[in-house]
Amino acid sequence: MKYLKNNSKLLLSILFIVGFTFFNIQSIKAATITWDGSESVTWATDDNWVGGTAPVSGDDVVINGSYASAPTLDLTGGSATFNSVTVGSSADSILTISNSTTTKKLITTANFTIGANGTTTHTANGGVQTHSLVIDVGGDALITGYMDVNGKGHSSGQGPGTGGTQGQ
């Protein structure tokens, strides 16, 4: 009894912290992060985003025109996961994805949307295929715009099916 009496403030503090944390986990929502492209095409540059912070895992990403430079999401270091990504819902917008294998992809836990004014593409390949458009969507893929891979394949005379005689 003496132990509880002496430590009641500590116990109440611990219970308060645990309770506060438990109940507030439910209220944590993804932040909506909007591209402004004011510094460069680099996705990870904080100054390219309204509010000065690049999106992190779980955020809702919006790319919707009114920018100086269109974003390039560099996945060469690994896949990137966001809650949702929306490209070109009301203004001309382009998202370019740069990856080095098909295992490095853009992942959304909710929707991936290319609006009527949006285009999603990947970095052009040269003699070897190093870039692909790989998107893993946990919700709905809503595409009224474009997924543009035209001219993004191998250089002329490179890649599978070029040169040689059939059957060799």
Confidence class for position 66, pLDDT limits 50, 70, 90: confident
What value does the mean pLDDT of the chain take?
82
Q: How far is Cα 106 from Cα 79, in angstroms, rounded to an integer?
A: 6
Q: How far is Cα 62 from Cα 88, in angstroms, rounded to an integer?
A: 8
Confidence class for position 81, pLDDT limits 50, 70, 90: very high
Check if the beta carbon of residue 71 is closer than 8 Å to that of residue 41.
yes
pLDDT of residue 29: 74
Residue 41 or 66, more confident: 41
Measure Cα distances from 97 to 30, 139, 152 in Å: 22, 20, 12
Euclidean distance between the first and final Cα of the chain, in Å? 88
Residue 119 or 15, more confident: 119
pTM: 0.75
Instruction: Average the pLDDT over 86-99 and give the result.
Output: 96
Q: What are the tens digits of pLDDT across the range 145-158?
A: 999 988 877 666 65
Q: Counting beta carbons within 10 angstroms of the beta carbon of residue 30, is it exposed (0 to 12), middle (13 to 18) or buried (19 or more)?
A: middle
Helix/strand number for the chain, H first, E second? 2, 12
Residue 9 or 137, more confident: 137
pLDDT of residue 19: 46
pLDDT of residue 13: 52
